[in-house]
Structure 1
């Protein structure tokens, strides 16, 4: 059994860079295109039908998230060829990175799994993680899981983000007293 360090609410998001299919390198946790916040979604890989469903469903919320100044990026440990194959089943328009290393997955405090067989995938992979990072690089929302069927319900998540993004609500980062 290995020791895993989990990220804390209010802490700085680690500097993790990934490549995308168009050849650009993106830094996870750094908002782009004038956004104030970024949602970072880590998914298991193209072998996971629940991940495909989640990523496609998240696309349906993109406009609402953009209205509150939040952009989306997703990433996995898949290879470039696996992401190309996966893109055929995705309806997403937000950037998706590939090639997360085991070290990067550990930096993000994610659970990491060994494939059950070569038919599943050919590399260790991260279990789901979702982070919302503010313009200062602080983590304001953390959701990590050790399996693909325990993810935040998107309507609740997006409604909550809409509420906390409203300056009139003066909502602080919650859960900062981690031990």
Structure 2
């Protein structure tokens, strides 16, 4: 099976998800005074590595906010699953739910079938990380086919700060075809 991957430098698709309060949000739209957006797609409540990664991300949010990067995390979980997951999470950034398989495919994510109903009750995406710049283009993309391979958050945050520093004039990488 093949997946359509999103390419660095291209427009991030218009994909909506739902926040706990019922608000429908455009994933790529930064809030407040931020002009970039980090969209972190995680597997769901059933994944202890996702829980660990999301909690670790919380330790870096101020640095990302200071760099002008807004954050949202999203999965294919239901509202009820997200509510249950929040008991294990200590995060202040927005969490969204309800990413559909069609949206997962549009993002070029790998999709897995649960091993049993104990894992979860729906197909789910494997991790994806997208940084969308002020032009709505994908500045950074990382897609994995399993929960064990994700960017190191300290290195990722340091890299975003490097990219955002105008003195570095750092272009979008990986666009040569």
- TM bucket, shorter chain: over 0.9
Distance in 1 between residues matched to 2:98 and 2:5, nearest whole Å: 21
- Cα RMSD for the two superposed structures: 0.7
Q: Deviations over 1:52-101 (max 9, x none)?
A: 00001001000000111001100000000000000111101111110110
The equivalent of 1:83 in structure 2 is 82
Distance in 2 between residues matched to 1:176 and 1:32, nearest whole Å: 27
Please report how far the alpha carbon of residue 36 of structure 1 lies from its aligned counterpart in structure 2 after TM superposition: 1.2
Distance in 1 between residues matched to 2:49 and 2:58, nearest whole Å: 14
Distance in 2 between residues matched to 1:13 and 1:48, nearest whole Å: 26
Q: Residue 64 of structure 2 aligns to a residue in which SS?
A: helix
Question: Contact 1:30/1:135 (CA < 8 Å) preserved in 2?
Answer: no
Please report how far the alpha carbon of residue 31 of structure 1 lies from its aligned counterpart in structure 2 after TM superposition: 1.0
Q: Residue 140 of structure 2 aligns to a residue in which SS?
A: strand
Q: Residue 150 of structure 1 aligns to a residue in which SS?
A: coil
The equivalent of 2:113 in structure 1 is 114
Please report how far the alpha carbon of residue 42 of structure 1 lies from its aligned counterpart in structure 2 after TM superposition: 0.2
The equivalent of 1:64 in structure 2 is 63
Please report how far the alpha carbon of residue 134 of structure 1 lies from its aligned counterpart in structure 2 after TM superposition: 0.5
Please report how far the alpha carbon of residue 3 of structure 1 lies from its aligned counterpart in structure 2 after TM superposition: 2.5
Please report how far the alpha carbon of residue 136 of structure 1 lies from its aligned counterpart in structure 2 after TM superposition: 0.9
Please report how far the alpha carbon of residue 135 of structure 1 lies from its aligned counterpart in structure 2 after TM superposition: 1.2
Matches within 5 A, 1:14-163: 14-163=13-162
Please report how far the alpha carbon of residue 169 of structure 1 lies from its aligned counterpart in structure 2 after TM superposition: 0.5
Question: Contact 1:39/1:133 (CA < 8 Å) preserved in 2?
Answer: yes
- TM-score by structure 1 length? 0.97
Please report how far the alpha carbon of residue 22 of structure 1 lies from its aligned counterpart in structure 2 after TM superposition: 1.3
- 2:11 aligned with 1:12, yes or no? yes
Gaps of 5+ in 2: none
